[in-house]
């Protein structure tokens, strides 16, 4: 046996050996993960640069005075304290927004469900009806519709013209602080098309033979609705309610157009987002507006968490 035969095969030092292993591991890590992260790259840049970064900065700004001209001045909790205790406009905006949510969401969902059930009877012309009811939802966000609404509810508008046919003299809806918010509620309810389509999709999931069995047992239509349709639809109702409520909290354009950007008369259409806009881009109180934005997030988060926590008592997910 020669000496060469007694040396370990491919004699390399321990360090080099470990280095090679590490390099191999790195290469494997790279090969396994690089494609995914490369595809994700635009989104990652956007997430850090346009979402996470700005969100953290606005959290910081909410504890400052910032008017875009001078650099932010730290004021601690002052913005939040003022919002909570000494800002009548905030209270007004909260009032208006909650009124809007409380009135528009239930009516919208009720209409959506009623129409979806009427359409779910295998009628002829279903697609035509469905399209007609959906159209307002599709057009709804635009300035044109808000302009139209402003005219409909004006003192000499279409609604009052229709009422006068019955000898009723209607008020000037949009310029009366007691009624103005309800014209916006009506606009929201008019756009019940999206939840209606989601309800229709949900209704189609309910097996027809359940109703047939209930019919044979002599259950009335109302009882069938109460005992079959409603429980089986609860996941869809829950989904629609959460989405529509969050959307209602964020409503902006119609109130802006109908009140000419003021939220008037007497703050009666001062949606929360409209107030935030006025503070940020009207008065350049960017720190204060950031605090308002974070309070909106907290309100939406609390509402969402509350919905999910209470959902286990009334939402039935069949597994």
Partner 1 sequence: MTETTASVTAARPPSDITKRSLPASLVVHALLIAASLLMLYPLLWMVSASVRPENEIFSSTSLIPSSIDLSSYVRGWTGLDVSFGRFFWNSLVISVLVVTGNVIACSLTAYAFARLRFAGRNFWFAIMLGTLMIPYHVTLIPQYVLFLDLGWVNTILPLVVPKFLASDAFFIFLMVQFFRGIPRELDEAAMMDGCSAWRIYWKIMLPLSLPVLATAAIFSFIWTWDDFFGPLIYLNDMNTYTIQLGLRTFVDSTSASDWGGLFAMSTLTLVPVFFFFLFFQRLLIEGIATTGMKR
Q: Contacts with partner 1 in 129-148 (CB under 8 A)? A: 129-145, 147-148
Smaller CB distance to partner 1: residue 181 or 200? 200
**Residue 80 contacts partner 1 per CB under 8 A:** no
Q: Contact at 8 Å (CB) between 245 and 160?
A: no
> Which residues have CB under 8 Å from 311's CB, separation 6+?
238
| Ramachandran sector of residue 154 (left: φ over 0; alpha: ψ -120 to 50; beta: rest) | beta
Which region among 98-106, 119-127, 175-183, 222-230 touches partner 1 (by CB under 8 A)? Answer: 119-127
Q: How far is the CB of 80 from partner 1 (least distance, A)?
A: 15
What is d(CA 109, CA 237) in angstroms, rounded to the nearest whole number? Answer: 8
x/- mask, partner 1, residues 295-314, rule CB under 8 A, reads: -xx--x---x----------
Among 76, 122, 167, 218, binds partner 1 (CB under 8 A): 122
Among 211, 225, 264, 316, binds partner 1 (CB under 8 A): 211
Enter the tokens of residue 88.
């009548």
What is d(CA 317, CA 298) in angstroms, rounded to the nearest whole number? Answer: 28
Give the residue carrying structure tokens 């304290």.
81
| Of residues 158-197, those binding partner 1 (CB under 8 A) | 158, 161-162, 165, 190-191, 194, 197
Q: How far is the CB of 59 from partner 1 (least distance, A)?
A: 8
| Of residues 232-251, those binding partner 1 (CB under 8 A) | 235-236, 239-240, 243-244, 246-247, 249-250
> Which residues have CB under 8 Å from 276's CB, separation 6+?
289, 292, 293, 296
Smaller CB distance to partner 1: residue 12 or 26? 26
Among 73, 77, 212, 223, binds partner 1 (CB under 8 A): 212
**Residue 95 contacts partner 1 per CB under 8 A:** no
Enter the tokens of residue 187.
């606009």
Q: How far is the CB of 51 from partner 1 (least distance, A)?
A: 6
Q: What is the four-CA torsion angle of 50, 55, 58, 60, rounded to 10 degrees?
A: -130
Give the residue carrying structure tokens 């390099």.
23
**Residue 50 contacts partner 1 per CB under 8 A:** yes
Smaller CB distance to partner 1: residue 21 or 45? 45
**Residue 260 contacts partner 1 per CB under 8 A:** yes
Smaller CB distance to partner 1: residue 12 or 55? 55
Smaller CB distance to partner 1: residue 12 or 123? 123
Q: Contact at 8 Å (CB) between 185 and 111?
A: no
Give the residue carrying structure tokens 């009335």.
220
Identify the burial level of 52 via C-beta atoms within 10 angstroms of its C-beta, where 0-12 means exposed, 13-18 middle and 19 or more buried. exposed
**Residue 73 contacts partner 1 per CB under 8 A:** no
What is d(CA 310, CA 312) in angstroms, rounded to the nearest whole number? Answer: 5
| Of residues 30-49, those binding partner 1 (CB under 8 A) | 32-33, 35-37, 39-40, 42-47, 49
Smaller CB distance to partner 1: residue 12 or 52? 52
Give me the numbers of helices (H) and strands (E) for the chain, helices first please.
Answer: 16, 2
Query: What's the chain's Rg over C-alpha atoms?
Result: 29
């Amino acid at each position: 046996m020669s000496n060469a035969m007694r040396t370990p095969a491919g004699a390399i030092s321990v360090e080099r050996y470990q280095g090679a292993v590490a390099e191999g591991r790195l290469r494997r890590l790279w090969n396994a993960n690089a494609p995914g992260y490369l595809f994700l790259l635009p989104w990652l840049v956007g997430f850090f640069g346009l979402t996470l970064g700005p969100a953290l900065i606005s959290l910081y700004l909410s504890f400052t005075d910032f008017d875009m001209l001078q650099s932010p001045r730290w004021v601690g909790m002052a913005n939040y304290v003022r919002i909570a205790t000494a800002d009548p406009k905030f209270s007004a905006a909260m009032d208006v927004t909650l009124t809007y949510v409380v009135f528009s969401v239930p009516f919208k969902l009720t209409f959506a469900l009623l129409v979806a059930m009427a359409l779910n009877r295998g009628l002829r012309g279903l697609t035509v009806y469905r399209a007609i009811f959906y159209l307002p939802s599709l057009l709804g966000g635009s300035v044109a519709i808000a302009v139209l609404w402003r005219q409909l509810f004006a003192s000499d508008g279409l609604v009052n013209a229709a009422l006068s046919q019955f000898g009723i003299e209607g008020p000037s809806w949009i310029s009366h602080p007691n009624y103005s918010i309800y014209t916006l509620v009506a606009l929201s309810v008019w756009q019940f098309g999206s939840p209606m389509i989601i309800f229709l999709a949900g209704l189609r999931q309910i097996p027809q033979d359940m109703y047939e069995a209930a019919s044979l047992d002599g259950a009335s239509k109302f009882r069938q609705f109460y005992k079959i349709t409603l429980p089986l639809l609860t996941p869809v109702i829950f989904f629609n309610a959460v989405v529509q409520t969050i959307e209602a909290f964020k409503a902006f354009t119609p109130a802006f157009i109908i009140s000419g950007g003021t939220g008037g008369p007497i703050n009666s259409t001062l949606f929360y987002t409209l107030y935030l806009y006025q503070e940020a881009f009207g008065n350049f109180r960017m720190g204060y507006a950031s605090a308002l934005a974070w309070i909106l997030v907290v309100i939406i988060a609390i509402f969402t968490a509350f919905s999910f926590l209470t959902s286990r008592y009334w939402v039935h997910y069949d597994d």
